[in-house]
Amino acid sequence: MYRAAFRALEPYLFRGPGEFDPSTRGVYSSASSLPLPSPSTVVGALATIYEYVDTKSIDWDRAYSMILKAKVRGPYLRVGPAVYVEDRVDGMFIQLSDIKKYSQFKKRLLSGEEDSEKKVWKICSVFVPKKIMMTGIGLMTRTEMRKIADEEKGLIYTTTLIDYLFDPKFTDVMIELDIISEKIEVGRYLVRLGGEGKGSLLEISKADEYICKIPEIANLLYVLSPILYETGSDFVEQLKSEMSDAGDMRICGKIGLLGAGYSNVRRKRKPIYQALLPGSVIFLEKNIEGRKIYEEGIGIGRELGFGSVIPVEGDEGWM
């Protein structure tokens, strides 16, 4: 197995859903960063270190798989020696070692045993990056497809960036991924990551173990990256159908709509899906194989990192 680490060098813009274009938003447009890049963003950055492959006639998920020839699990955020996972439900990062404690808290919320006003940061170690707002002039309409520094022709826009390095003590921050592959080229590369042309130092290295500790069996799953399913059908029913071996299940979390990103090759957005967001917890009736579910993932785009889940061996009676 291998490890990919994107070292943070500056504030980043990891676009969330929604249009960032005067054609649809009017004369004032804005974009806000997600806490972490989507799996399609990080695998897109990984793909830039390989030779060009013409993927115009191939579905977006198959196109990335053809280039990488590997499975990706993540992303994680490493701040110094501590590893964090995104909790988009509560708007923060929680420490990887606190996942079981976090899940116990969510179970008590489901059963009504816990005060709904109680905050996650009171029971878990958390990390909250700073948000930086930047205003610019020069956003053009979609027919131009570019931003220029022209105060007469351009329009005002704002972007809200995410800053992991807001405190001087945070000098070593990395976005990390597990890469499941028999052989992949190791090395260090300077790549673009996210919007606004932001850069990151990418290092691919061999690894002896996965970032998270994986139990032999598990009966709950922490959602590490969005689990995607097609719109038009009930999300929970699609999840139950795929994971029928796990029996019944309960979900404590949030389901929303999420786009898979933008295709520079095709010059259009990728499809919109239903998504179970990071920080959600899935409680299972029956035990499942921990390593298998971690390596395979769940839902659409799983080989690219979507549908990454962290298996946890919970206490008796999680359901």
- For residue 257, CA distances in Å to 32, 287, 309 come to 16, 29, 19
pLDDT at residue 251 greater than cutoff 60: yes
pLDDT of residue 22: 46
Place of tokens 């299940």: 249
Tell me whether residue 319 is in a domain: no
3-state secondary structure of 314: coil
pLDDT for 270: 66
**Residue 177 structure tokens:** 């991924």
Contact 137, 154 (CB under 8 A): yes
Q: What letter does residue 181 receive in the DSSP assignment?
A: -
Rounded distance between C-alpha atoms, residue 7 and residue 77, angstroms: 10
Beta-bridged to residue 259, according to DSSP, are 272
pLDDT tens column, 191-246: 999 887 889 999 999 999 999 999 999 999 999 999 999 998 999 999 999 999 99
What is the pLDDT at residue 20?
Answer: 47
Whether 305 is in a domain gets the answer yes
Hey, what's the torsion of the CAs at 309, 311, 314, 316, to 10 degrees? Answer: 100
How confident is residue 29, by pLDDT bands cut at 50, 70 and 90? low
- pLDDT bracket for residue 280 (50, 70, 90): very high
**pLDDT digits over 37-76, tens only?**
989 889 888 888 876 655 565 565 566 666 778 899 999 9
In a domain, 138, yes or no: yes
| Other beta carbons within 10 Å of 280 | 23
Number of domains comprising the chain: 1
pLDDT per position as a tens digit, 71-113: 999 999 999 999 999 999 999 999 999 999 999 999 888 887 7
Percent pLDDT > 70 in the chain is 78
308: nearest Cα among 279, 269, 288 = 279
Q: In the predicted model, what is the mean pLDDT of the chain?
A: 83
This prediction has a pTM of 0.86
Q: Output the pLDDT for position 46.
A: 87
pLDDT for res 250: 92
Domain that holds residue 285: 2-312
Q: Is residue 133 part of a domain?
A: yes
How many Å apart are CA 73 and CA 178, to the nearest integer? 5
Asked if the structure places residue 317 within a domain, the reply is: no
